[in-house]
Structure 1
């Protein structure tokens, strides 16, 4: 009794595991979570935030402790001149220094870091979009393989059911032995195609796990990808694909401000205190302090400032050229994808109409087979036509989904 209970629980558990499915959203979440590139970019943002704190700390008073000692002996009149070396010296100083910088220059440096962070955030969005396109594309391919597997399984089940009937009719001399063998060859071919589609689904499913960073060899069925066209062509300024050109323009303008500030006067002050002595008479009194300042202002640099401006202008011109070229490509790509999707919609509608006739013919032929009023060659022809149309429908549906995936890639 316990054996049958355990067997029942095992079958129930096994059936439950087999019935589990995975969705596209699950794979997208796993892929983003496991992506090392996205983690790297997020860490770069954190690093840039630390750079901002470091710059602010660099303009606070800097305290430095230093010490130095010197001994230059003179032996039998040979040695360094003591007028220069004093023979020996010892110092230990604590120095406090501070550079005075304009608030505008500090803000420009912070702005440069802010632009860098915005660029990294945009890179994360681009990386996520690239990853989404790759995962969705592979998911669609795997789903197409699964659909082919299910369809071939239906055909095998249908032919297997009719094979028993045909065998009985052949034994009753309603059909010839050659008719039965011809039908049996068709059944074996369908079984081979089923095995091939099962293998293809396993391969596509394993590739999907590999791209998503999922280390699992268990094969689950996946649900249908519900993809709708979400492209927005009205406001390209908010698109992540055009955002980088905006950031480049802001960055170049900020670099020009930084160049201007590098040619302004710079003021620093310092103060130190400690011990500084040549260790001669009353060396114990050589404790003291000092204060001072430095001012620097570039007067002539050989024309480097104009050259820096010229470089920035060339970068801006290059960026504008790339943006104009990309804008044309973007428009052409969107229009082409929309046109192709529209053509696939018309083609799939025509295939669906043809599929209804082929499906009806199969039903009629199976009924005629039961009465012996059907030629086996006609049944095989109908089955092959049914297979061809169904495969054509699946292939075009998958191709349409792939085009929608490509179109949606440009929507963010």
Structure 2
């Protein structure tokens, strides 16, 4: 009884382990796995994340700049004077010493500070759009390579299927040839066809493994194993964002918002500036009651720019020129976007039609191969006709693989529409 329980527990553990390995294999062989791995391992995306964090730190530094600044200061000086030669003692007191704490603050309006802080928010928004475009570009690159690898896999599967079919016939034809009921030359022709497909399978296997290794390389994955890839899941492609919802419009909005805010910062730079300061500690010339020279002082400074060669107007002109340039780029990008959408939809429609026609034809090709295979041993069908029917089936299936490859690629371009 105890042996039975131990065996049962062991069996359950093995089943769970096998199930876990199958789940891991399935998880690591789909498109989502490679995309997530590429995003996680991308140094560019890490750079963008760190840029946004660094900009947030800059905003905290700006708040601190306009807060109270407390510094400890100390200085001592000595100006020697001999026989009337030297600095004027009325100015230098001969010697002086200061040690104390200074507190200062620049006062600006709440709107002024808010505007300057918005500059950092706008910079973060710009980096965020750049990051989104980088993610879109990375996803498209990984998906393209995944499609190429999956296509290589389907071509390999097709050769395996044809070889299985020919190997099945080989067993029958070999016996018939040995009994002299089947021509030796016909059998040799058949054998050459079989070996050609076996050689093609070796080449396709090498191509698949090379594409798989490149997919791992682009995704930042270190793995020497090869798993069968699942069907590329591109989601619903019939709906795609309009240009107004695209990353390019969002990028323009972020840029234009920043330029508008920069214009407000320029205006605030030419507003009056008020600074208040206070210090306390010890300051003395050491010439009269030095032990009593502990004290404090307060002060206020105001600066108002009057004339600097019309730099404010020039800066605003440059800001406006930058905005006009961005608008022109946006107009061109929108035209390219609409044209690219039209081209992709047109090509997808054509390949869908071609795929439908090829799928219908393949049923007839399969039926012809099966009929020829039955009649080949009886001599009712010539070997050349049998080989021709197999080649027709092979070509049709190869065409379907290529049509699907083209459709996957076009849909990937539609999903991650990038204007170069």
CA RMSD of aligned residues (A): 2.1
Identify the match of residue 30 of structure 2 among 12, 18, 23: 23
Residue 119 of structure 1, CA deviation: 1.6
Shift in Å, 1:126: 1.4
1:125 aligns with 2:132: yes
- Cα deviation for residue 219 of structure 1 reads 0.8
- Which 10-residue stretch deviates more, 372-381 or 221-230? 221-230
Instruction: For 2:33 and 2:296, locate their aligned partners in 1 and report how far apart those are by CA, in whole Å.
Output: 69
- Please report how far the alpha carbon of residue 176 of structure 1 lies from its aligned counterpart in structure 2 after TM superposition: 1.4
Is the aligned partner of 1:109 residue 2:119? no
User: Matched residue of 1:371: which SS?
Assistant: coil
Seen in structure 2, the aligned counterparts of structure 1 residues 209 and 56 have a Cα distance that, compared at 3 Å, is: same
Deviation, 1:286, is 1.5
Deviations 1:20-63 (A, max 9, x none): 44111111111111111111111111111112222112211111
Report what 2:290 is aligned to: 283
Matched-pair contact (CA < 8 Å) for 1:18–1:220: no
Q: For the Cα contact (< 8 Å) 2:76–2:97, is it kept in 1? A: yes
Q: In 1, Cα distance between the equivalents of 2:251 and 2:222?
A: 35
Alpha carbons 2:248, 2:330 under 8 Å: kept: no
| Alignment match, 1:335 | 342
Residue by residue over 1:267-296, the C-alpha shift from the partner in whole angstroms, topping out at 9 and shown as x without a partner, is 111111111111113111221211110001
1:140-219 matches, cutoff 5 A: 140-219=147-226
1:342-375: CA deviation from partner (whole Å, max 9, x where unpaired): 0000111111122122111110111112333221
- Are 2:412 and 1:405 aligned? yes
**Distance in 2 between residues matched to 1:192 and 1:279, nearest whole Å:** 101
Q: Distance in 2 between matches of 1:235 and 1:192?
A: 48
CA contact (8 A) 2:48 2:131 kept: yes
Give the whole-Å Cα distance in 2 for the aligned partners of 1:397 and 1:231: 17
For structure 2, list consecutive stretches of 5 or more residues without a partner in the other structure.
1-13
Give the TM-score of the pair, scaled to structure 1.
Answer: 0.92
- Please tell me whether residue 378 in structure 1 is matched to residue 385 in structure 2: yes
Query: How has the CA–CA distance of structure 1 residues 271 and 340 changed in structure 2, closer, same or farther, with 3 Å as cutoff?
Result: same
How many Å separate the matches in 1 of 2:86 and 2:59? 52
CA contact (8 A) 1:141 1:204 kept: yes
Q: How does 1:57-68 map to 2 (within 5 A)?
A: 57-68=64-75
**Structure 1: any 5+ residue segments left out of the alignment?**
1-8
1:240 corresponds to 2:247: yes
Which string of whole-angstrom CA distances, capped at 9 and with x for unpartnered residues, describes residues 222-250 of structure 1?
10113344364674333222101011111
Whole-angstrom CA distance in 2 between matches of 1:383 and 1:117: 60
2:61 to 51, 54, 65: 54
Q: How many residues align?
A: 399
